[in-house]
């Protein structure tokens, strides 16, 4: 823990006043800091985690009516990329378990051959929507009320299979508004959600929208996720 274990004491500290020392391992300090931040909404650093961990040790030796006062000496603001980062914690052996893949990682791994979000307008004609699908060689697209990436504007979706069935049975449907033939909106997942959340949605739908702060960043399909997992886990050739 940064700042603990230095070879000097500040002049304001009098060790003669200390009744007991409690040793707190770094791992316990970091996990406690994360727990306090998550459960109490107080962003503290490793030193604060050490203090709370020591206070909990003392508290267990007293009855529930005892009052334990603990001073939190630091904020966790400067440790966001360290003890609050799962990958950093795993790198240094402070966190166990499999790495959590975030939706953002899958989205970032996509190629940039296509625009991040290809949409059609609800008041476009079906013929125009078909042209969009064919131009970009895609099989589906979200429908928006206005030309915006605001999640609230995404009101439906179209897929080539449903459009084909509709137009085959009624050629005049090409002149209809997209709003009259669109399917329900594509499900939305947050960019920092675990990829498990996206997988659950993709079991029910062919694609998901990825959003951050109410804005759609991109679209993930089953193929995108499969491609990410295949290349990420592919053993390097020797």
In tens, the pLDDT along 20-71 reads: 999 999 999 999 999 999 999 999 999 999 999 999 999 999 998 999 999 9
In tens, the pLDDT along 125-153 reads: 999 999 999 999 999 999 999 888 999 99
Q: Work out the average pLDDT over 169-178.
A: 96
Confidence of residue 235 (pLDDT cuts 50, 70, 90): very low
Confidence of residue 6 (pLDDT cuts 50, 70, 90): confident
213: left (phi over 0), alpha (psi -120 to 50) or beta: left
CATH for the stretch 103-232: 3.10.580.10
Q: Work out the average pLDDT over 214-223.
A: 94
Three-state SS string across the chain, please?
CCCCCCCCCCCCCCHHHCCCCCCCCHHHHHHHHHHHHHHHCCCECHHHHHHHHHHHHHHCCCCCCCCCCCCCCCECHHHCCCCCCHHHHHHCCCCCCCCCCEHHHHHHHCCCCCCCCCCEECCCEHHHHHHHHHHHCCCEEEEECCCCCEHHHEEEEEEHHHHHHHHHHCHHHHHCEHHHCCECCCCEEECCCEHHHHHHHHCCCCEEEEEECCEEEEEEEHHHHHHHHHHHCCCCCC
The alpha-carbon radius of gyration of the chain (Å, integer) is 27
Return the CATH fold of 15-91. Rossmann fold (3.40.50)
In the prediction, which pLDDT does 236 show?
40
CB-CB contact of 149 with 117 (8 Å): yes
In the prediction, which pLDDT does 238 show?
34
More confident residue, 125 or 113: 125
Q: How far apart are alpha carbons 33 and 39 in whole angstroms?
A: 10
pLDDT of 222 strictly over 60:
yes
pLDDT of 112 strictly over 90:
no
Domains 15-91 and 103-232 equal at CATH topology level: no
**Which residue reads 């193929």 in tokens?**
223
Give the residue extent of every domain in the chain: 15-91, 103-232
């Amino acid at each position: 823990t940064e700042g603990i274990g230095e070879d000097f004491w500040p002049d304001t500290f009098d060790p003669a006043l200390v009744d007991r020392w409690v040793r707190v391992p770094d791992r316990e300090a970091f996990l406690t800091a994360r727990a306090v931040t998550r459960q109490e909404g107080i962003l503290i650093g490793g030193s604060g985690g050490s203090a709370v961990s020591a206070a909990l040790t003392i508290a267990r030796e007293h009855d529930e009516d005892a009052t334990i006062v603990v001073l939190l000496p630091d904020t966790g603001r400067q440790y966001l990329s360290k003890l609050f980062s799962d990958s950093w914690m795993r790198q240094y052996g402070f966190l166990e378990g499999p790495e959590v893949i975030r939706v953002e990682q899958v989205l970032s791994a996509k190629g940039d051959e296509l625009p991040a979000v290809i949409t059609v307008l609800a008041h476009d004609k079906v013929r125009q929507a078909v042209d969009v699908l064919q131009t970009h060689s895609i099989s589906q697209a979200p429908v928006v009320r206005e030309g915006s990436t605001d999640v609230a504007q995404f009101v439906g979706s179209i897929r080539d299979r449903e459009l084909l069935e509709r137009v085959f049975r009624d050629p005049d449907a090409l002149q209809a508004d997209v709003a009259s033939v669109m399917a329900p909106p594509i499900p939305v997942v947050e960019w920092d959600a675990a990829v498990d959340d996206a997988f659950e949605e993709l079991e029910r739908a062919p694609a998901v929208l990825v959003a951050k702060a109410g804005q759609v960043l991109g679209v993930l399909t089953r193929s995108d996720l499969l491609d990410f997992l295949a290349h990420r886990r592919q053993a390097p050739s020797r």
